[in-house]
Copies of this chain bind each other. A is one copy, B any other.
Amino acid sequence: MNARRVIIDVDVGTDDAVAILLFLEADKLGEIKIEAFICTKGNASLDNVCRNLVRLLEYADRTDIPVFRGSFHQILPLQNTHSVFHGNDGFGDLKYQEEPDLNIIKKDIASVGMQNIVSKNPGEISLICLGPLTNAAITMRMFDDFSRNLKDMYIMGGNIHGVGNTTQSAEFNFFIDPEAASIVFDCAQCPIYLLPWETCKSSTITFKWRYEVLGKMGGKLWKLIDSAEKSVYGEPTKQEIWMPCDAFLALSFLHPQKAVVKSRKEHVSIELHGRKTRGQAVLDHLSQNQANAVLIEEVNNTLMKEILMRACQNV
């Protein structure tokens, strides 16, 4: 089988980093070919996302993969912010001896870069979205054929039962740019696979395992990620369950048959106007609209651990 081709949109972020590690290993194994990375504001400012990503690629010796810089802002100025959950720099505020070389970043803006790749390879490229959907949405607005030429989209974000993690009822990626999420779900002309917050919350992987088993392993890249996560989360006893959201999505993409234990088709749209529910994913419980997304409801946590152990050694 040919390697599946992907563009990966990230807002690194420690869980993005774990996902990137899984993708880099799959690329090394020839399972996928990473055509480009896209930097999106979210877990950090755009500048820091670029810095965090390029550093990860330098540690992995993969600065050959094209990197594009996305929009400096979310679509609307209402949420003109990024999270500091993963530290001020989005990656644990570690001290480094050298700055990453940002000159490797392409001159073309992300939308143009993505459109060039996708329009030349219609039906071939999967777009993996690990952060707010700003760049995916803007590219869809600029280029009418962009989403039609995608093979599919894999998205981490939103919710299925109205369970929020940033507001009462909104998940971070969708809350940060609800208009972008709305554009994607209302207008995408390709299949969408969505891994929502509730699926992450159902993780059974303990921080104890994460620290005592996975934390003891690994090559250069994993050790960097491990340090960043430890800086973010501190002592393992503080939090019971480890929820590497983006890594769950990576697993679901890389091993769809074995990783996705339960899924269902639904029509998903985004509430933009509520005072309490802005950014909430709304399912069509009246079944008046055709399904536009496959919701990944349950992921194989045992497989997750196996793949993580292998990848942490391997990359």
Type the 1/0 row for A102-138, where 1 means its CB is closer than 8 Å to any CB of B: 0000000101100000000000000000000000001
Please give, as numbers and ranges, the residues of chain B lying within 8 Å of A168 by CB-CB distance: 282-286, 288
Least Cβ–Cβ distance between A84 and chain B, in angstroms: 17
Please give, as numbers and ranges, the residues of chain B lying within 8 Å of A72 by CB-CB distance: 144
Q: Are A109 and B183 in contact (CB-based, < 8 A)?
A: no
Chain B residue with Cβ nearest A77? B186
Q: Which of B111, B169, B272, B276 interacts with A275 by CB under 8 Å?
A: B272
Scan residues 57-93 of chain A and give those whose CB is less than 8 A from a CB of chain B.
71-73, 75-77
Contacts A271-B277, A275-B271, A285-B165 hold; do A179 and B109 have CB atoms under 8 A apart? no
Type the 1/0 row for A140-177, where 1 means its CB is closer than 8 Å to any CB of B: 01111000000000000000111111011100000000
Q: Are A269 and B276 in contact (CB-based, < 8 A)?
A: yes
Q: Are B73 and A187 in contact (CB-based, < 8 A)?
A: yes
A43 lies within 8 A of chain B by Cβ: no
Please give, as numbers and ranges, the residues of chain B lying within 8 Å of A71 by CB-CB distance: 141-142
Contacts A168-B285, A169-B285, A285-B165 hold; do A143 and B271 have CB atoms under 8 A apart? no
Chain B residue with Cβ nearest A110? B142
Classify chain A's interface size. Answer: 35 or more
Q: Which of B138, B179, B271, B285 interacts with A142 by CB under 8 Å?
A: B138
Q: Which of B141, B163, B283 interacts with A75 by CB under 8 Å?
A: B141
A273 lies within 8 A of chain B by Cβ: yes
Please give, as numbers and ranges, the residues of chain B lying within 8 Å of A183 by CB-CB distance: 75-77
Contacts A109-B142, A162-B161, A285-B163 hold; do A182 and B77 have CB atoms under 8 A apart? yes
Chain B residue with Cβ nearest A134? B141
A280 lies within 8 A of chain B by Cβ: yes
Q: Which of B144, B164, B282 interacts with A277 by CB under 8 Å?
A: B282
Q: Are A77 and B187 in contact (CB-based, < 8 A)?
A: yes
Please give, as numbers and ranges, the residues of chain B lying within 8 Å of A288 by CB-CB distance: 168
Please give, as numbers and ranges, the residues of chain B lying within 8 Å of A276 by CB-CB distance: 269, 271, 273-274, 282
Q: Are B179 and A285 in contact (CB-based, < 8 A)?
A: no
Contacts A76-B179, A109-B143, A169-B285 hold; do A162 and B280 have CB atoms under 8 A apart? yes
Given A76-B183, A168-B284, 6 other A-B contacts at CB below 8 A?
A142-B142, A168-B288, A169-B285, A272-B272, A274-B274, A274-B276
Give chain A's interface residues, CB within 8 Å of chain B: 71-73, 75-77, 109, 111-112, 138, 141-144, 160-165, 167-169, 179, 182-183, 186-187, 269, 271-278, 280, 282-286, 288
Sample (25) of A-B pairs whose CB atoms are under 8 Å apart: A71-B141, A71-B142, A73-B187, A75-B75, A75-B179, A75-B183, A77-B182, A138-B141, A138-B142, A142-B142, A160-B161, A161-B161, A162-B283, A162-B285, A165-B285, A165-B286, A168-B284, A168-B285, A168-B288, A169-B282, A169-B285, A271-B275, A272-B273, A273-B276, A276-B282
| Complex A-B, nearest 6 residue pairs according to Cβ-Cβ distance, in ascending order | A274-B274, A161-B161, A162-B162, A72-B144, A77-B186, A277-B277
